[in-house]
Amino acid sequence: TQLLEQSPQFLSIQEGENLTVYCNSSSVFSSLQWYRQEPGEGPVLLVTVVTGGEVKKLKRLTFQFGDARKDSSLHITAAQPGDTGLYLCAGAAGANNLFFGTGTRLTVIP
C-alpha cells in the first residue's frame, strides 16, 4: 500500500493569509489528484496533475507535482472562509488504484 503523508494535519489561519499544504510519498505515482471535502459530503476533485514538475493554477489555488512524481503541494493565496475543508491528495498507482493521503483540515477564520 502506497503511503501518502500530508502536512500539516491541521491548519487554522486568518482570512487573507497564504498557506501551503504538502503531500509526500516514497512511491512514484503516474498522476496525482487533489480533492476537497466539506462536512457531510464526499470529496470533490480540484485538479489532476500528470507530468513531473507540472504546475496548475485554479484562481487562488496553485498545485505542483514534484519532478520525481513522488510529492505535490497545494498553495492557497489570500485564503477565504469558503476554502475551509479537508484537503486530500490522491496518487494513482497502476490502472485501477487511487491512494488517498492522510488529509489536511483547513480552517479559515473570517
Partner 1 sequence: DSGVTQTPKHLITATGQRVTLRCSPRSGDLSVYWYQQSLDQGLQFLIQYYNGEERAKGNILERFSAQQFPDLHSELNLSSLELGDSALYFCASSVGIGVPGELFFGEGSRLTVL
- Which residues within the stretch 12-31 sit at the binding site for partner 1 (CB under 8 A)? 30-31
Of 13 and 46, CB closest to partner 1: 46
Q: Does an H or E element contain 65, and which?
A: strand 61-65
- Which residues within the stretch 41-100 sit at the binding site for partner 1 (CB under 8 A)? 41-45, 48, 50, 86, 88, 92, 94-100
Neighbours of 104 (CB within 10 A): 21
Helix (H, G, I), strand (E, B) or coil at 81: helix
Q: What is the sign of the dihedral through the CA atoms of 68, 73, 77 and 83?
A: positive
Of 13 and 92, CB closest to partner 1: 92
- 4 sits near partner 1 (criterion: CB under 8 A): yes
Q: In whole angstroms, how close is the CB of 16 to partner 1 at the nearest point?
A: 25
Q: In whole angstroms, how close is the CB of 33 to partner 1 at the nearest point?
A: 6
Kindly state the cell numbers that stand for 89.
491528495
Instruction: Tell me the HSE value of 77 on the side-chain side, using a 13 A CA sphere.
Output: 7
